[in-house]
Structure 1
Amino acid sequence: MIATALSTTGFSQEVFDAFLAERDEPGWLTDRRVAAWSQFNKLGMPNNRDEEWMRTDIRLFHFDRFAPFAGIEAPSELPPALLATGVDLAGRSVSLDSRSLSNEISDECAKQGVLFGSLDSLVKEHGNLLRPYIERQLVDPNQDKFSALNAALWSGANLLFVPKGVKVARPFHSFTAMSAGGVDLGKTLVILEQGAEATLLTETASTDPEAGGMHCGSIELILEKEARLRYVNLQNWGSGVWHFAHQMGHVGANAGLQWTIGALGSRLAKVNQHVALTGPDAEAQVNGVMFTHGKQHLCYNTHQHHKAPFCRSDLLYKSALQDKSRTVWRGMIKVDEAAQRTDAYQRNDNLMLSTAARADSIPGLEIEADDVRCTHGSTSGRVDDHQLFYAMTRGYTRQEAVRMIVSGFFQQVFDRITIESVRDALGEAIGRRVRDIEE
């Protein structure tokens, strides 16, 4: 752990040098970190002149207000892991403030060559195996200042590697916690070799639901030919956390990815989620559930990139907004010239629970092939007064009626999740946040 005295200087050269000195990593990885750090220092902060950032104001965010690797004492108790409740797991990992706390994997998976747990440790033991996948660099460190920072300083990272032909029926679970005012620079790397199958549940939470902090993370999902991955990611940070993330999936020929995102927490979130279908007959289903309240601002940019023929993608994002909160969804379906016979769809629905809330939906198509089926849609509206009246005449309170309507609104996404306990956990987490809507 880096000394607390250094942490007071924020994201400085002194902290970066001390970080490298304690890592004891392969030289090729250190070189990558140094290059990304150089890029972080060169790049300016995003601003509203950039199309991608024009609806997300981060002028109140400053790097020097956060202390990476501060050595904060671990709390006596971590928040509950919602997605793991009642699930028979094949492996479990826990981290706090960019530090790995514990890692477990079943004996059966270990015997099959499955790797799961701290990437920080596993890259030292299995560097030759992991190097080609890390060097693919799905998330470009040159994309912006946040992607460069994560590439330089990722720590407390999580790895799931499933060898060729191995099919793991039980889910893996990764839990990332943040203490009050903490910094998380986590990275998730999933590698499924040809014909492999797995399910990964990941979630984040703060030890204090009202606390601040900063998350700057990345997710890379690599699915080789005929691999299958079910991936659920629940973002449940405290209401004062700044959340920045770049997330990228590579789906090979005949492979299938089901990716479900739940976004409930943070003060402000700016997430880029990119899925690339790189081999013929690849398919991806992307599901998103966003529930906002207070003055939250959640911005999710999604990108379905069809690079090969005969691929299918289906994206469904649903948002419910309370109080003065705001969501921004920018979706793009990009079809390369080689990606003939593409079948792609994207949809964003917004349920307004307050007259002061705001939802921006910006779908887009960029099609270079001439034999495709690509469509998109978006809806926004308030709760139907007739539905409220009907429920209340049956004895429900107004808040109970709203909770039922919100649950029904999200049901289409919940129905896509194959693990019943995960569906229930998401529904309960949202239900607890529902307040009465304005008259």
Structure 2
Amino acid sequence: MSLTASATFDASGFEGFLEARSSEPQWLTLLRRESFSHAEAMDWPSRRSEEWIRTDNRIFQLHKYAPPQVPGGELEIPDVAQLREGIDPGGTMLTVDSQLAVETLDESLAAMGVLFGSLERFCNEAPDKVRPFLYTVVDPDYDKFAALHAAFWSGGQFLYVPKGVVIEKPLYIGSVMSDGGIDTSHTLIVLEEGAEATVIHESNSVDPAAGGLHMGAIEIIQKPNSHLRYVNVQEWGHKTYHFAHQKATVDRDATLQWTVAAMGAGLAKVNQSVDLIGPGADSQVNGVLFTEGRQHIAYHTQQHHKAPSCHSDFLYKSAQQDKSRTVWRGMIKVDKKAQKTDGYQRNDNLVLSNHSRADSIPGLEIEADDVRCTHGSTTAKVDEEQIFYALCRGFTRKEAVRMIVSGFFQQIFDRITIESVRDALALAIARQVREYE
């Protein structure tokens, strides 16, 4: 897609977007119209707010991009996936610029009632499984980006796992964007009581230097005693804008392991939240941020304890080289009734350049009086003594820095329970490390 868009995100472009989707159910069209009306009334986020004070979005120009097109014809699928190797998926979804290219699911899983595929398709074919959950977790009015996404989302991914169904094989989702393209996909994952699943989701551009726009959302709903491992790897091109709202609700005795790796996009702003809504709910979030060039990646995380006796563990590690910058702002929020809360939050940074920067702002907001909550952050540079030690043993400087960076992220890698994902992330980071200045 050219960066000069023929259709735009204004009222005329919105009506054209809806006209091309005239077969959508009325309830979805009404939701889109309401969200577009709210988006029109909103201003763009500005640096006057605490959330955006360290992230400048003024260079972003929405008019350069067109709303997603209705799928038409066979799509060429670029071979840019890294996480698909080494796994035997029970189902696969591939999209190009929000358009569905591949959709498969093992017959045995389909026979058990598992739904996995295009969210747009299931809005029509299984509305009773989609409508009760869509936009019950992510707030479509959170900001202008969220409202525009709710109005213009296209394609999307949907996973529904019925009560008591355990999916042994991982499910794979691959999202690819062309140079100058757009992806507005919405991911909705629903696990009923006692269900289990593993989802591996990676996003890539056709070229590491590609531009484009991703304006997306992820919603995860876990019913009591369900268990989900979700891997979300973002490697959009380094001229791509990436704006996303991602949220999970975890009910009684359910467990969520959510692994995030963000190494792409030129400007990225992500809001990630986990709400623990039932006693005994447990969440572990593992985050890897690696930036280079002039990348700017900002993550705002929240672990919200709404019920007693819940556990949350957020660990983010970030490394910055060249003139890049990361911003991590975390919050542990504990409601008054959420007694016996156990919350942990940490962000460690390794600055690999005299010109790169890391901002780390942990926070606590606690209303209960019987809790254990800890948070912290560290920022450091590579220890020259460690480099000297490696040089004396025959390693080159670049090899020494790679070992140090790999060691820095090892704590995260050790928490990832999928071996192929662990190895792929370690290799991807090692490839990007250059000699320390």
Shorter-chain TM-score tier: over 0.9
Match of 2:104 in 1: 104
Match of 1:280 in 2: 279
Question: Cα gap change, 1:135/1:325 in structure 2, threshold over 3 Å: closer, same or farther?
Answer: closer
Cα distance in 1, alignment partners of residues 29 and 73 from structure 2: 28
Match of 1:19 in 2: 17
Deviation of the 1:53 alpha carbon: 0.4
Structure 1 moving runs of 4+ over 2 Å: 68-77
Which residues in structure 2 correspond to 1:351-430 (within 5 Å)?
Answer: 351-430=350-429
Count of aligned residue pairs for this structure pair: 434
Q: Are the equivalent residues in 1 in contact too, given 2:17–2:67 (CA < 8 A)?
A: no
SS at match of 1:315: strand
Structure 1 gaps, min length 5: none
Which residues in structure 2 correspond to 1:176-187 (within 5 Å)?
Answer: 176-187=175-186
Identity %, equivalent residues: 55
Match of 1:118 in 2: 118
Instruction: Give the letter for the 1:290 counterpart.
Output: L
Which residues in structure 2 correspond to 1:37-436 (within 5 Å)?
Answer: 37-69=36-68, 76-136=76-136, 138-436=137-435
Deviation of the 1:226 alpha carbon: 0.4
Cα distance in 2, alignment partners of residues 207 and 139 from structure 1: 29
Q: Are the equivalent residues in 1 in contact too, given 2:323–2:356 (CA < 8 A)?
A: yes
SS at match of 2:54: coil
SS at match of 1:427: helix
Deviation of the 1:129 alpha carbon: 2.2
Instruction: Give the letter for the 1:17 counterpart.
Output: E
Cα distance in 2, alignment partners of residues 145 and 73 from structure 1: 32
Q: Are the equivalent residues in 1 in contact too, given 2:338–2:368 (CA < 8 A)?
A: yes
Question: Cα gap change, 1:152/1:280 in structure 2, threshold over 3 Å: closer, same or farther?
Answer: same
Tell which deviates more after alignment, 184-193 or 80-89.
Answer: 80-89
Deviation of the 1:75 alpha carbon: 7.4
Q: TM-score, normalised by structure 1?
A: 0.96
Deviation of the 1:341 alpha carbon: 0.3
Cα distance in 1, alignment partners of residues 27 and 163 from structure 2: 25
Cα distance in 2, alignment partners of residues 349 and 162 from structure 1: 35
SS at match of 1:134: coil
Question: Cα gap change, 1:240/1:321 in structure 2, threshold over 3 Å: closer, same or farther?
Answer: same
Structure 2 gaps, min length 5: none
- Provide, for residues 400-424 of structure 1, a one-character-per-residue CA deviation record: whole Å limited to 9, x for no partner: 1111111111010011111111000
Deviation of the 1:70 alpha carbon: 5.5
SS at match of 1:423: helix
- Provide, for residues 207-235 of structure 1, a one-character-per-residue CA deviation record: whole Å limited to 9, x for no partner: 12111111100000000000000000000
Instruction: Give the letter for the 1:78 counterpart.
Output: P
Q: Are the equivalent residues in 1 in contact too, given 2:75–2:96 (CA < 8 A)?
A: no
Cα distance in 1, alignment partners of residues 407 and 326 from structure 2: 20
Deviation of the 1:65 alpha carbon: 1.2
Tell which deviates more after alignment, 166-175 or 61-70.
Answer: 61-70
Instruction: Give the letter for the 1:103 counterpart.
Output: E
Deviation of the 1:73 alpha carbon: 9.3
Deviation of the 1:8 alpha carbon: 1.0
